[in-house]
C-alpha cells in the first residue's frame, strides 16, 4: 500500500533555554492517500511539534518522515523549501495572508517559489481563477486581506494552499478564529477537497470539528495516546 | 534566480507601504550622492578656474618680475643713499633675450603709478611702458585706434593707449582719440583705446592679480626718456625714491617642452647678475599649472572623502531601517518560508529592497547633482545679498563669486554606482539575518 505520508518512530528534542525538552518520544503514524486525520491533544502534548515536522518546517532529531517516496528527515534547508512548495499546502489558524497583497497576489505567492522560477503563464492564471471560484472569491480578487471577513480570508488561504496542487494539506486549527457558521463553511470546503482525493492532516482541539474527519489521533506527552472518535 | 522584474516590483510594493519612512531613509543617500557630485563639481570648477588663469599667462611664457627686496637688505644696500635701487636691469633683458637660444621673444615692461589728467578730471593710473607685443602677450584687444608701434618706440613719440576703464573715467563725454592726457606735466596723444578685459586673479602668491582696466600704455623708450628710472614719492613728512629699470620681462619660449629647462637657465643667469639679494622673481605658468593640478587632486580627495562619509552615514540609516523592517515583517518571512521560499529567496527579496531604495536615492541624487551649477548660482545670489553686501568684497567672496562648479561627467555613474554599492553593502546583513530566521519562530511571531 502506498502512503501519502509516513511517520516512523519520530523523535524531536529541543532546548528550552538550558532545559532539554523531549517534545516527541517516538511517534509512528501512516497517512494513506485520501486520508483525513484530526490530531488532538492538550497544549504541550507535542501536536504542534508534530505538525511542524509534518510540514517540513523542521527536521526530526531521530526517526524518519516520508512524503510519498522521499525521506524528508535528512534533507537540506533548500530541499525542505522545495518539498513545502511542491507537496504541502498550509492552512493556519490566523490565515497568515500577506497584508500588502491582494487576494490574487496572495494566491500567487507559492507559484513564485517553484523550482526553476518559471513565470506565471496562462495555465497558472486560469488555475488561480478556478481556485478562487472554488472557494467563492472570484469577484474579490483585487481586495486586500483587511477588506475581507475572517471566513473569506481563510478561504483565500485555502486557495493559496491548493495552487501548487500539493499531495497533503496541513491545517492548523483552521476554524479556531471563526464563528460556528463560518466554521461549518470552511469544514465543508475541506471535506469537499478530501472527497476529491486530497490527504488532509488537521490539528484541532474542538471535538465537533474533529468528528468531521475520517479518524482522530490523540496525543499526550509526545506520544500517540490513542486513536478513534472520543465523544465529549 | 527569481524573476528580476518581479523581485523589483515586489520591493517597490513593500517600500511604497511606508512612503514616508522609505523617503526619509532615501534622503540620506540622496544627499550623499548629491554631495559627491557637487563636491567634485566644485573641485573641477576651481581647477578649471586656475587652469584658465594660467593659460591666460601663456603656457609657453616665463615671466620675470622685479621684486622690492625685504627691508633689512634694502637698508644695507642703500646705507648712504636715499634711493632704493633694485630689480631687473636693461642689461638683464639683453642678456636673457640674446644669449638664451630657446627664447623666441622677450618683452620688457616698466610700470609706474602716476596721476593722469584730462581737463579737470584726474585719476591715478598705472603707466605701462611697453612694446607692440604687449597686446599679444596679455590678450588685449583694441576697441578704437591702434596700439603702440615700433615706430613710436624708435622715435620716442609722446603717444599713449588708454585702457577702457581709464578712457571711461577721463573721457566721460568726449571721444578720447586725438585728445591728450597729461601725465607728470607732459602731454601724451591718445592713439587707441583697449577693450575691457577681465582682471587676472592672483595665483598662489607668486603673481599678484592685475587689473588691466586702469592702465595707460606708452612706448617703453618714451617712458625712459620722459620719466627716467627714478620714481620719487613725496608725501607729507616722508620721502622715498626708487630706481627700477624694468618691472617685468615676459619671455616667450619657442617650444612648450623647453619651458622648464629654459626657466632653470634663466634662474641661473639672473643669480649670477643679482648677487646682492633676490630682487626678482621668476614665474613659470606651466609650473603653476602643475601645482594647480596637485592642489586639485588633494582638493578632490578631501572633498570626495567628506561626501563619501555622508554616503556611508546614509547607508547606516538604510541598514537601520532594514533591520527594523525585518523585525516588523518577521511573520511575512515565516509565511513565505512555509510556502516554499528558500533562504536565498528571502535574502534576494530584502537585498533588492535595499538596493532599490539606495538606487532610487542615487538617481534623485544624480539629478540634483546635475543641478549643482544652478544651486550654486542660487547660493551665490543669496550669499551676496545677505552676507557680502556690506564692507566690500572680501577675498573669500571674490573667490566664491568667480567659482563656477563644473559637473564632472564621470562622477555621475560613479556616484550612482557607489549608492548601489552602499545598498548591497548595508543591505546584505539585514537580508541575511531575515533569511536565517527559523521559519517556525517566524510564523509564531506576533
| Reduced DSSP (H G I as helix, E B as strand, rest coil) percent helix, strand, coil of chain B, to 5 | 55, 20, 25
Supply B430's cell numbers: 539585514
State the total domains in chain A.
1
Chain B contact for A55 (CB, 8 A cutoff): yes
**Choice among A18-32, A34-48, A175-189, B238-252 with the minimum mean pLDDT:** B238-252
At B268, the pLDDT band (50, 70, 90 cuts) reads confident
Indicate whether A175 pLDDT > 80.
yes
Q: Which of the two residues, B135 and A216, has the higher pLDDT score?
A: A216
- A9 in any annotated domain: no
Task: Name the minimum distance, in Å, from the CA of B332 to any CA of chain A.
Answer: 6
Residues on chain B touching A81 (C-beta within 8 angstroms): 337, 340-343, 345
* Matching residue, cell 515565516: B334
Q: What angle do CA B188, B194, B197 make, to 5 degrees?
A: 135
Q: What is the pLDDT of residue A192?
A: 92
Share of chain A above pLDDT 70, in %: 98
Measured CA to CA in angstroms, residue B21 lies from A18, B25, B291, B324, B345 at distances of 40, 6, 47, 11, 24
Q: What is the pLDDT of residue A8?
A: 92
Q: What angle do CA B135, B138, B139 make, to 5 degrees?
A: 75
Mean pLDDT of A128-140: 89
B331 contacts A96? CB cut-off 8 A: yes
Q: What is the pLDDT of residue B387?
A: 67
* Interfacial residues of B (vs A; Cβ cutoff 8 Å): 1-3, 6, 13-14, 17, 331-332, 334-345, 439-440, 443
Cβ–Cβ contacts within 10 Å for residue B298, how many?
Answer: 11
At B196, the pLDDT band (50, 70, 90 cuts) reads confident
- For residues B96 and B64, the answer to whether their CB atoms sit within 8 Å is yes
For residue A195, what are the contacts with CB-CB under 8 A and spacing of at least 6? none
First to last CA, chain B: 30
Q: Is the dihedral of CA B110, B114, B117, B123 positive or negative?
A: positive
Mean pLDDT of B67-80: 60
Supply A54's cell numbers: 509534518
Residues on chain A touching B339 (C-beta within 8 angstroms): 84-85, 90, 109-110, 113, 160
At A160, the pLDDT band (50, 70, 90 cuts) reads very high
Q: Which of the two residues, A130 and B67, has the higher pLDDT score?
A: A130
When scoring A49, A67, A81 by the number of chain B Cβ atoms within 10 A, the one with the most, hence best to mutate, is A81
- A189 in any annotated domain: yes
B2 contacts A57? CB cut-off 8 A: no
At B385, the pLDDT band (50, 70, 90 cuts) reads confident
For residue range B177-187, what is the model confidence (pLDDT) as tens digits? 888 888 888 88
Indicate whether B389 pLDDT > 60.
no
At B223, the pLDDT band (50, 70, 90 cuts) reads confident
Mean pLDDT of B265-277: 83
Instruction: Give dist(CA B376, CA B42) in Å, integer.
Output: 9
Q: What is the pLDDT of residue B325?
A: 92
Task: Name the minimum distance, in Å, from the CA of B428 to any CA of chain A.
Answer: 19
For residue range B331-351, what is the model confidence (pLDDT) as tens digits? 999 999 999 999 999 999 999
Q: What is the pLDDT of residue B399?
A: 63
Instruction: Give dist(CA B255, CA B101) in Å, integer.
Output: 11
Tell me the average pLDDT of chain B.
Answer: 83
Q: What is the pLDDT of residue A10?
A: 92
Mean pLDDT of B403-422: 88
- A72 in any annotated domain: no
For residue B294, what are the contacts with CB-CB under 8 A and spacing of at least 6? none
Indicate whether B139 pLDDT > 80.
no
- A69 in any annotated domain: no
Each domain of chain B, given as residue ranges in start order, spans 4-54+290-444, 68-278
B338 contacts A84? CB cut-off 8 A: yes
Task: Name the minimum distance, in Å, from the CA of A139 to any CA of chain B.
Answer: 23
Instruction: Name the CA radius of gyration of chain B, rounded.
Output: 33
For residue B154, what are the contacts with CB-CB under 8 A and spacing of at least 6? B221
Indicate whether A161 pLDDT > 90.
yes
B17 contacts A100? CB cut-off 8 A: yes
Indicate whether A153 pLDDT > 80.
yes
Distance of CA B210 to the CA centre of its chain: 16
Task: Name the minimum distance, in Å, from the CA of B422 to any CA of chain A.
Answer: 27
Q: Supply the CATH number for residue A159's domain.
A: 3.40.50.300
Instruction: Give dist(CA A112, CA A165) in Å, integer.
Output: 14
A112 contacts B6? CB cut-off 8 A: yes
When scoring B1, B15, B329, B339 by the number of chain A Cβ atoms within 10 A, the one with the most, hence best to mutate, is B339
Q: What is the pLDDT of residue B200?
A: 64
Task: Name the minimum distance, in Å, from the CA of B16 to any CA of chain A.
Answer: 10
CB pairs under 8 A between A and B: 67
With CA atoms as reference, the chain B residue closest to A160 would be B339
B439 contacts A57? CB cut-off 8 A: yes
- For residues A215 and A228, the answer to whether their CB atoms sit within 8 Å is yes
A100 contacts B339? CB cut-off 8 A: no
Cα atoms in the 13 Å half-sphere on the side-chain side of A108: 20
Indicate whether B119 pLDDT > 90.
no
B14 contacts A84? CB cut-off 8 A: no
Residues on chain B touching A110 (C-beta within 8 angstroms): 339-340
Domain span holding position A220: 35-59+82-227
- A158 in any annotated domain: yes
- For residues B127 and B216, the answer to whether their CB atoms sit within 8 Å is yes
For residue range B48-60, what is the model confidence (pLDDT) as tens digits? 877 777 777 777 8
At B105, the pLDDT band (50, 70, 90 cuts) reads confident
With CA atoms as reference, the chain A residue closest to B333 would be A98
Q: What is chain B's length?
A: 446
Q: Is the ipTM of this complex over 0.85?
A: yes
At A232, the pLDDT band (50, 70, 90 cuts) reads very low
Indicate whether B358 pLDDT > 90.
yes
Amino acid at each position: 500500500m502506498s502512503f501519502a505520508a509516513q511517520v516512523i518512530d519520530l523523535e524531536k528534542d529541543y532546548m528550552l533555554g538550558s532545559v532539554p525538552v523531549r517534545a516527541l518520544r517516538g511517534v509512528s503514524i501512516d497517512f494513506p492517500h485520501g486520508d483525513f486525520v484530526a490530531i488532538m491533544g492538550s497544549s504541550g502534548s507535542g501536536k504542534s511539534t508534530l505538525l511542524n515536522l509534518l510540514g517540513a518546517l523542521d527536521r526530526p532529531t531521530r526517526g524518519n518522515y516520508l512524503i510519498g517516496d522521499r525521506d524528508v528527515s535528512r534533507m537540506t534547508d533548500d530541499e525542505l523549501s522545495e518539498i513545502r512548495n511542491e507537496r504541502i499546502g498550509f492552512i493556519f489558524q490566523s490565515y497568515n495572508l500577506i497584508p500588502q497583497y491582494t487576494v490574487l497576489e496572495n494566491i500567487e505567492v507559492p507559484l513564485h517559489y517553484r523550482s526553476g522560477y518559471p513565470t506565471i503563464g496562462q495555465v497558472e492564471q486560469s488555475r488561480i481563477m478556478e481556485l478562487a471560484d472554488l472557494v467563492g472569491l472570484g469577484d474579490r480578487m483585487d481586495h486586500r486581506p483587511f477588506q475581507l471577513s475572517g471566513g473569506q480570508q481563510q478561504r483565500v488561504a485555502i486557495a493559496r494552499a491548493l495552487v501548487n496542487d500539493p499531495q497533503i494539506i496541513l491545517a492548523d486549527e483552521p476554524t479556531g478564529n471563526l464563528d460556528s457558521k463560518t466554521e461549518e463553511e470552511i469544514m465543508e470546503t475541506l471535506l469537499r477537497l478530501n472527497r476529491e482525493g486530497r490527504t488532509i492532516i488537521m490539528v484541532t482541539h474542538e471535538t465537533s470539528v474533529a468528528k468531521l474527519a475520517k479518524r482522530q489521533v490523540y496525543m499526550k506527552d509526545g506520544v500517540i495516546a490513542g486513536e478513534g472518535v472520543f465523544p465529549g | 534566480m527569481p524573476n528580476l522584474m518581479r523581485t523589483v516590483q515586489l520591493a517597490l510594493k513593500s517600500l511604497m507601504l511606508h512612503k514616508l519612512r522609505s523617503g526619509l531613509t532615501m534622503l540620506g543617500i540622496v544627499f550623499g550622492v548629491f554631495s559627491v557630485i557637487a563636491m567634485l563639481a566644485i573641485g573641477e570648477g576651481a581647477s578649471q578656474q586656475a587652469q584658465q588663469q594660467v593659460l591666460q599667462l601663456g603656457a609657453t611664457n616665463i615671466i620675470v618680475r622685479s621684486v622690492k627686496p625685504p627691508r633689512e637688505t634694502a637698508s644695507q644696500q642703500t646705507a648712504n643713499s636715499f634711493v632704493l635701487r633694485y630689480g631687473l636691469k636693461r642689461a638683464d633683458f639683453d642678456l636673457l633675450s640674446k644669449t638664451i637660444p630657446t627664447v623666441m621673444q622677450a618683452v620688457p615692461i616698466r610700470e609706474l603709478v602716476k596721476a593722469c589728467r584730462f581737463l579737470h578730471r584726474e585719476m591715478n593710473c598705472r603707466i605701462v611702458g611697453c612694446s607692440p607685443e604687449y597686446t599679444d602677450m596679455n590678450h588685449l584687444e583694441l576697441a578704437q585706434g591702434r596700439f603702440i608701434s615700433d615706430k613710436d618706440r624708435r622715435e620716442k613719440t609722446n603717444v599713449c593707449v588708454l585702457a577702457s576703464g581709464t578712457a571711461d573715467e577721463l573721457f566721460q563725454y568726449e571721444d578720447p582719440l586725438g585728445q591728450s592726457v597729461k601725465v607728470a606735466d607732459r602731454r601724451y596723444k591718445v592713439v587707441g583705446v583697449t577693450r575691457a578685459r577681465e582682471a587676472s586673479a592672483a595665483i598662489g602668491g607668486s603673481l599678484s592679480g592685475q587689473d588691466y582696466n586702469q592702465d595707460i600704455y606708452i612706448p617703453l623708450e618714451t617712458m625712459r626718456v620722459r620719466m627716467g628710472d627714478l620714481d620719487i614719492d613725496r608725501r607729507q613728512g616722508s620721502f622715498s625714491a626708487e630706481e627700477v629699470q624694468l618691472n617685468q620681462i615676459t619671455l616667450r619660449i619657442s617650444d612648450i617642452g623647453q619651458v622648464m629647462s629654459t626657466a632653470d637657465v634663466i634662474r641661473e643667469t639672473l643669480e649670477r647678475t643679482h648677487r646682492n639679494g633676490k630682487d626678482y622673481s621668476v614665474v613659470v605658468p606651466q609650473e603653476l599649472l602643475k601645482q594647480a593640478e596637485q592642489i586639485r587632486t588633494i582638493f578632490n580627495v578631501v572633498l570626495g572623502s567628506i561626501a563619501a562619509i555622508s554616503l556611508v552615514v546614509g547607508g547606516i540609516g538604510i541598514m537601520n531601517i532594514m533591520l527594523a523592517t525585518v523585525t516588523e515583517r518577521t511573520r511575512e518571512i515565516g509565511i513565505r518560508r512555509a510556502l516554499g521560499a528558500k533562504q536565498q529567496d528571502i535574502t534576494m527579496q530584502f537585498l533588492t529592497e535595499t538596493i532599490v531604495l539606495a538606487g532610487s536615492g542615487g538617481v534623485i541624487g544624480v539629478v540634483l547633482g546635475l543641478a549643482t551649477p544652478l544651486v550654486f548660482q542660487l547660493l551665490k545670489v543669496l550669499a551676496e545679498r545677505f552676507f557680502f553686501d556690506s564692507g566690500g568684497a572680501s577675498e573669500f567672496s571674490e573667490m566664491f563669486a568667480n567659482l563656477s562648479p563644473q559637473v564632472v561627467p564621470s562622477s555621475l555613474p560613479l556616484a550612482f554606482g557607489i549608492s548601489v554599492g552602499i545598498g548591497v553593502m548595508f543591505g546584505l546583513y539585514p537580508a541575511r539575518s531575515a533569511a536565517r530566521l527559523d521559519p517556525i519562530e517566524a510564523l509564531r511571531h506576533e
